[in-house]
Homo-oligomer: A and B are copies of this chain.
């Protein structure tokens, strides 16, 4: 257990007050700028404060003010390369409001997600930003946590009665399909990922919708894999066996796309010129793998989550729109 490592005692606001010959309240007011204070007095306080190199104890402050200036961020899996991007965006957005981030990765397990919520509530975070790992299993815990702290769903949603900040997944798929047909691909297939993530199922739904709309005579070519790169390769192989005339594969995320691209590359040797593969999320994997992908507006997403928390944005505005990033994986050959 974290034993209390004996460090040098740190000065308190009382010490500063004593040194400056003033009362603790005055010192507090100067340091937090809560109320007007005589300029000369303010100066004396500041002198004393940094003579002692005083730093306020935020734990005590939190107890008194009932605010921790902390948001909990619960994510499904930091290894999924989308989430580092989200974490970064949330970190930036919250930093601007002097909020810190307490991060919990639930490893895609709803039970751990539930205990993460409890943990964060016990720590009295001001808000919890959560990307629910499961579209149904996550809902009850969310609902109950929402009675104790402000909950904002970010990116994924499990309970549409609770606040959320999201990106229009369908629009992303639409951009991809338009790009692919504009570059001459007719027979387009889709490899989905675990549909228990709300974003995954929205992407799959959108594919079916737009696919039917663009090409009514062809029934949607859809397969579903799990998140690992290895599985996506084998799924790609069976997909190409089942529909050998496929000219493009839209994948539910960049990792799956990378696996598909590996297979496509093998096959190109056997004659599949102009074959295209697309990813989703525009992660580092898309960058390094030269994958066409869809970029979500993450700063805006994070800002919106913060606004929702602050009560600046009262109702849910329409979802944010993602953009297309074209790279070599959909280039002509």
Partner of A289, one of B98, B105, B288: B288
Contact A102 B101 (CB under 8 A): yes
| Chain A facing B: main interface SS | mixed
Any B CB within 8 A of the CB of A280: no
> Of B78, B87, B290, which contacts A262 at CB under 8 A?
B290
Scan A181-219; emit 1 where CB is below 8 A from any B CB, else 0.
000000000000000000000000000000000000000
B78 adjacent to A88 (CB under 8 Å):
yes
> A118-129 CB contact bits vs B (8 Å, 1 = yes)?
110111101100
Whether a CB of chain B sits under 8 angstroms from the CB of A10 is yes
- A35 at interface, CB cutoff 8 A: no
What are the residues of chain B within 8 A of A60 when measuring CB–CB? 63
Q: Is the CB–CB distance between B79 and A100 below 8 Å?
A: no
Q: Does A234 contact B (CB under 8 A)?
A: no
CA distance A3 to B67 in the complex (A): 8
- Which residues in window 305-326 of A have CB below 8 A to B? 309-311
| Known contacts A3-B311, A67-B4: A288-B57 contact under CB 8 Å | no
Instruction: Give the chain B neighbours of A100 by CB distance below 8 A.
Output: 102, 104, 119, 123
Among A17-25, A39-47, A145-153, A167-175, the one that faces the other chain is A145-153
Whether A332 sits at the interface, judged by CB under 8 Å, is no
User: Which chain B residues lie closer than 8 Å to A63 at the CB level?
Assistant: 57, 59-60, 63
Q: Are B56 and A122 in touch, CB under 8 angstroms? A: yes
A interface residues (Cβ-Cβ under 8 A, vs B):
1-5, 7-8, 10, 55-60, 62-63, 65-70, 78-79, 81, 83-85, 87-88, 91, 97-105, 118-119, 121-124, 126-127, 147-150, 229, 254-255, 258-259, 262, 284-285, 287-290, 309-311
Other than A2-B127, A55-B121, give 15 A-B pairs with Cβ distance below 8 A. A5-B126, A5-B150, A59-B68, A63-B63, A78-B87, A78-B91, A87-B103, A91-B103, A100-B123, A103-B103, A255-B284, A255-B288, A259-B288, A285-B285, A289-B289
